[in-house]
Structure 1
């Protein structure tokens, strides 16, 4: 009895020491498996289930379509028709739920990501295996003369890549959470090297599966490619496809919320955004203000337009900033040679990606100008107003607004500035 009591007392002491050792900072609770789940789970969202139609409509033939999917990997809605208001309210509710989960607990957000990644891989495997069986049964007619009828232009290729890369978006998400990744110099490149080729292989095989049961015309007429595939192949169990598509979309949204919240957190810490966005929850040790801010912005994004407008809007902005970021890496190779580089890549890779980014940004605008691009530029430029007023110049009247707001938010959310982690 005394031995049991002594053992329990020692365990309690270790638990207390563990709690005391934690600072008010983000904790390294993510391993390699969670890192791969972030990559795979964030990339595989709704894109692969709806984007094949848009890619094919631009490439106009099966062969080039499959090449675009493979090239996107190397470079990197369900079909009912309810009222748009209902769809957007449901999307907003999902964002609120995901934001709450990630603001409450890093570990809970990671568990949710792992579960949804496992769930979405189930439907991916089902579609791939079904396609392999159909191919073995001789359903290959859509692959005969697969390059026939191809009509290529720079604008069409750019728009095809926009829709393809929408499905691949998430390839860069692991970079945002290096502070919480155990052994990042090993697990970061490993997670990317394992995760992206895995997704690329899945995407190509899924597109092959789609074409085993649908002609190019039928795929273009489908409102949700995966749902149509399920109706034709998996009946009477076809209901599982929209269910797992929903799981897949939620998993991608959760992964993006988890990682992009850290981007906002670091921006606040570095002085590029309001300082309150770099505060950490005292009880939860999560960047709650940054995650909540990201959730609000995400809800604003779903208000205007439809999915196609959102894809073009997002892809234009994303590849503009990707290109600028990677070009900055090229410049720093020559201007900041003294900086330590624990992870290095050959210089030709950032140069190539920079050139491809320029193409992806300019080609669709030149060939098919659309209002989405102008809206996107105006939205980005509007951020400069807040930056110069509240962050750069710190005008007195702006500080009179931001300081009380920061104080009230700090008390409301119980957050404090992050402490330096012990050596």
Structure 2
């Protein structure tokens, strides 16, 4: 994985990723990735864990605040270390570049976990949700739609998104803008419909919003994870730092615009749900937004599943866009085969890394059982959030003179780190589920791969010929 690879000479002045992401497209990437299927489905899981409307709204607001604080801490890292790749880039800089080959291990373990489990799972769940909603109208009498057509639609949509992202960065960002606008329109419809219902029928009594609040710590943790799943993606802009125009200014701006906008959208959507549906109706619904539309929109109820499909498609597009850059950065730093860091010579897009991400995601789709992956997704991703925030504190100590265009108050990463430690430790203590130990075991299994292929730089016979063939076939070159 780690050795220099032969290149084919092309007559080209400069091949690199273009800085094509401005404030509007950056905000669209944040909002469009975060608002996926979560806000249309997760309200049920949050209500199950909290028991009351008031506590549910507090959880949604708190998770929005937590995501904003975490993103601001990441903004310092992104502006101080202006490299694409998110956590990979920061761990490589803080530990890898000053500690020899062993210092690269934390970044490699993150790549191992993120590129083979976390990011493909995030992409796959959004695409499977889209596939389910696309197929469901063709099976009106079925509670659960058949797996085969859902998987076929899902894989076809994955390949379509891959083609869009390979063809043009501009086309991918335009798609993100369109789908983000459709999500905000759907949430506006829910909010306006709920407000109308409140004014006409006064369905929501303020004095009763905290009735039936639960105090079980394990259930509250479940509510947090359901809400945080809807907010996940707040760090996606850090994966594409090298493609952001003036990242030292625009990265913090996009965060301060995008995440509060998403939080506000989630809150007004939940108020819209609670104004129209009773708690038992929400708890019995597999998709709250669709149940809401059936109740309030009547003959126009078909519009909400279309919005959900567009929302999932846009979220998946944002995840693929960012994950391709993570894979690109990891390969450029020799944590993956170098060919994955090449870009398409005509399109200037990270074609091999996008293809790699989609192939891994298709392998996750085929078995069909995502429950285990989803269970430890929230746990695993917060492990790496905590490690990265701790690395930020290390960087403050070891390099106080580093140029920091944006510097977050030190109390913010400390607070997020403490909450993150609670979110990673409490599920193990409270539930003792072996799922979380599987996540740790898979993470540590990366050590077995790291030493022969990265540390000792083991050569694989025939790799050079394969790389030459891929360069000719795909017209890809190193940056």
TM-score (norm 1): 0.89
| Alignment partner, residue 204 of structure 2 | 141
2:473 to 370, 388, 412: 412
The answer on 1:344 being equivalent to 2:335 is no
Q: Distance in 2 between matches of 1:378 and 1:292?
A: 27
Q: Distance in 2 between matches of 1:412 and 1:309?
A: 37
* Contact 1:156 1:364 (C-alpha < 8 Å) held by counterparts: no
The answer on 1:180 being equivalent to 2:240 is no
Task: Give, in angstroms, the shift of residue 92 of structure 1.
Answer: 2.3
2:258 to 184, 195, 213: 195
Q: Distance in 2 between matches of 1:401 and 1:348?
A: 52
Instruction: Summarize the alignment of residues 254-333 of structure 1 with structure 2, pairs less than 5 Å apart.
Output: 254-304=317-367, 306=369, 309-333=372-396
For residues 366 and 403 of structure 1, do their structure 2 counterparts lie closer, same or farther at Cα, with a shift above 3 Å needed?
A: farther
Aligned-partner SS, 1:136: helix
Q: Which deviates more from structure 2 when the two are superposed, residues 53-62 or residues 247-256?
A: 53-62
Task: Give, in angstroms, the shift of residue 336 of structure 1.
Answer: 2.2
Flag structure 2 segments of 5+ consecutive residues without an equivalent.
Answer: 1-10, 68-128, 137-142
Q: Distance in 2 between matches of 1:88 and 1:359?
A: 36
Instruction: Summarize the alignment of residues 372-411 of structure 1 with structure 2, pairs less than 5 Å apart.
Output: 372-396=435-459, 399-400=460-461, 402-411=463-472
Q: Which deviates more from structure 2 when the two are superposed, residues 269-278 or residues 299-308?
A: 299-308
Aligned-partner SS, 1:141: coil
Task: Give, in angstroms, the shift of residue 383 of structure 1.
Answer: 3.4
TM-score (norm 2): 0.79
Aligned-partner SS, 2:299: coil
| Alignment partner, residue 74 of structure 2 | none
* Contact 2:184 2:265 (C-alpha < 8 Å) held by counterparts: no
Task: Give, in angstroms, the shift of residue 401 of structure 1.
Answer: 5.0
1:366 to 402, 422, 429: 429
| Alignment partner, residue 217 of structure 1 | 280
1:70 to 61, 70, 81: 61
Q: Distance in 1 between matches of 2:371 and 2:197?
A: 31
* Contact 1:56 1:65 (C-alpha < 8 Å) held by counterparts: yes
| Alignment partner, residue 7 of structure 1 | none
Instruction: Summarize the alignment of residues 246-257 of structure 1 with structure 2, pairs less than 5 Å apart.
Output: 246-257=309-320
Q: Distance in 1 between matches of 2:450 and 2:184?
A: 41
Higher relative contact order, structure no. (Cα contacts within 8 Å, ≥ 6 residues apart) = 2
Task: Give, in angstroms, the shift of residue 300 of structure 1.
Answer: 3.1
Q: Distance in 2 between matches of 1:370 and 1:96?
A: 35
Q: Deviations over 1:291-331 (max 9, x none)?
A: 11122222333345656544323211211111111111011
| Alignment partner, residue 154 of structure 1 | 217
| Alignment partner, residue 52 of structure 1 | 43
Q: Deviations over 1:333-357 (max 9, x none)?
A: 1122232222211111111111111
Q: Distance in 2 between matches of 1:226 and 1:308?
A: 22
Flag structure 1 segments of 5+ consecutive residues without an equivalent.
Answer: 1-19, 419-423
| Alignment partner, residue 155 of structure 2 | 92
| Alignment partner, residue 302 of structure 2 | 239
Aligned-partner SS, 1:394: coil
Q: Distance in 1 between matches of 2:418 and 2:368?
A: 30
The answer on 1:30 being equivalent to 2:21 is yes
* Contact 1:117 1:251 (C-alpha < 8 Å) held by counterparts: yes
| Alignment partner, residue 14 of structure 1 | none
For residues 273 and 73 of structure 1, do their structure 2 counterparts lie closer, same or farther at Cα, with a shift above 3 Å needed?
A: same
Larger radius of gyration: 1
Q: Distance in 2 between matches of 1:94 and 1:28?
A: 27
RMSD between aligned alpha carbons?
2.0
